Structures are given as C-alpha cells and as structure tokens.
Amino acid sequence: MTETARLRALVFERTGMAIDEKDPIMAVLIACADQTEQISTRILRRSRPQRLIVTTAIVVVISSLATAAATWQVAQREARALRAEWVQQQRDPRVAALLASEQGRAGLRLSELGVARLLANCSGRSSWRVQKGYCIPMTAAGQPDGFKVGPARAGRGD
C-alpha cells in the first residue's frame, strides 16, 4: 500500500470522508504528514530514552509524594476533629457517668453494632414486645424467643 493510499484510508477511517487521489487536499495532507514525521524524528534524535524514563519517574515520585502528603494532612485533620469531639464529650459529667456505667457501655456497644436503633424502635414491630422495659422478640406462637441471663443454679449440668 502506498503512502498516499494509507493516508487516504486513515482520513476515511477517522473522519468518514473519502478523498480522491488527485484532490489538492491530498497534497496538503501528505505535506503535513511528512512535516510531522520529520519533526518527530528530530525530537527523538535530540532526546534520549533514558533521560525521558528518569524524568517521568521523577515526576511520578514527586506527584505521589504530594498526594500522600495531602492525604496525610486530611487524615490528621479528621483525627484531630474526632479527638476534640471525644474530649468534649468526656468533659460532660452526664456522658462520663453514662460511659462509666455497665448499661452505658452496653448501650455504646449496641450502638457500634447498629442494634441500638432497632431496640429503641422495637415497640412498633408486631413481632417484638416490650416487657418490663426490655425489647423481646416473639415466636410465631407468641412466646418470647430468647433466654434470661441470671446466676447459675445447681443441678443444671454444672
């Protein structure tokens, strides 16, 4: 395939326009392609691949370090904000007393597990009942589903 035919095929592929071989635009396209090739050849002769690889590596390292530093700063800022909020909560005597109690720690753990909202809203569920301040799931037969924690009794397989 000649250079002209290859250039015509490339123009048709990229633009969808068919150019006649004798069209004056072909002379312009060929001249542009030749100039581009000459410029590319001169640029490649002047540059060394090793220098390009080293320069690219340096740019990548610098941009990676900048990104890591920015990410570190954002993480540190968020950690400081969370710590300040935690310290302020600890200063509140009601919150400190709540966290010092066994029920408060249990409530905090339930909240961490995502169960606190379910337990707080259990009175609106048809399968759950509130008995003596506790949220109890019920079986299909209407019996409480669960167990009671209490001191162990002698004679139960101890």
pLDDT in tens, 42-87: 887 777 778 878 888 999 999 999 999 999 999 999 999 999 988 8
pLDDT in tens, 84-99: 988 887 787 887 787 7
pLDDT in tens, 137-150: 777 776 766 555 45
**Rounded Cα gap, residues 124 and 142, in angstroms:** 16
Whole-number pLDDT of residue 157: 46
Q: What are residue 103's phi and psi, to 5 degrees?
A: -65, -35
Q: Which amino acid is at 127?
A: S
Neighbours of 8 (CB within 10 A): 21
